[in-house]
Amino acid sequence: MGTRRHFGFLAAVIASATLSTSWVHVAAHPGPASGALAAIATAQTSERSAGRAARATESVHYADATLVLLASYAVADGRPAIPAASTDLARDSRLWDLVESTLPDDAVLSIRQMNVISDGRNATLGMVHRSSVAPDSWVLSIDPAETDEVLQDTMVHEYAHMLTLRTDDLTSNAASRTRCDGLRIEIGCAKFGSALVAWHDEFWAGTAEPAPTDIRKFVSEYASSSVHEDLAESFMAWTLNRGARPSPSAQVRARFAFFENRLEFVEARDAIRAKLDR
């Protein structure tokens, strides 16, 4: 198959929720003119209908003034509630078709809301954040301006966060400001026994975030920005059979071996490859 365009940069931010604190991950390209990172600084999530948490949408307030929320759909049993009479039915059904054709079935079922957002092509691609009302469920925001290939790459990267930023893995900065019973990293408190702590101990011990860019160590420039982004970028490269170079370095091979030795990641990779027919 042809080479896929790698989405360039990502930023992790913390969401300040009305009911509870959620973690938000943003995937973004650098701006075409300045090269500056396009990112969403903050977001707020709140339950819109307290009596119907399983199907109600959460209100997400994006701090980036250029980002437009086009639509918001509750997702139940792996299907978004897109009205059949919607003038955006084709656009938004295409996005969900990409979700279903890329992510493992259990990941699809863990998404409780899909937000359709846009700030034009090659800017913000998409993001996930933990639901503020349903434990270990996710709100997926995605930009229809991007190509199918870019969005599939984005979803594989975001799925790595869904696997490693659950409530059993991470406490957000806001919730762990005064106490961290684990390892303090850029986005919060990684809990002992989590993949995040294991990744840090193997590849980041003694290294501050961000790390100096080193093509011998990292699969991409952005992977050097933080522990969790290094893990997600490496997972995407490993899953999509995309080494950083024709002959990956020993450090990159060690990152791939980290996933090979953990059944959850192997099963996730195999499920994605089966969906993508690789």
106-153 pLDDT tens trace: 999 999 999 999 988 877 788 888 898 888 899 999 999 999 999 999
208-261 pLDDT tens trace: 999 999 989 999 998 999 999 999 999 999 999 875 556 789 999 999 999 999
CB 31 within 8 A of CB 38: yes
The predicted pLDDT at position 190 comes to 96
The predicted pLDDT at position 11 comes to 32
Q: Is the pLDDT confidence value at 13 over 80? A: no
The predicted pLDDT at position 165 comes to 94
> What's the mean pLDDT when you consider all of the chain?
80
Between 218 and 34, the higher pLDDT residue = 218
The whole-number average pLDDT for the span 173-187 is: 82
Lowest mean pLDDT among 37-41, 60-64, 204-208: 37-41
pTM: 0.81
Distances (CA, A) of 149 to 52, 237, 275, 276: 35, 14, 14, 11
The whole-number average pLDDT for the span 10-36 is: 35
Reported as a pLDDT band with limits 50, 70 and 90, residue 175 is: low
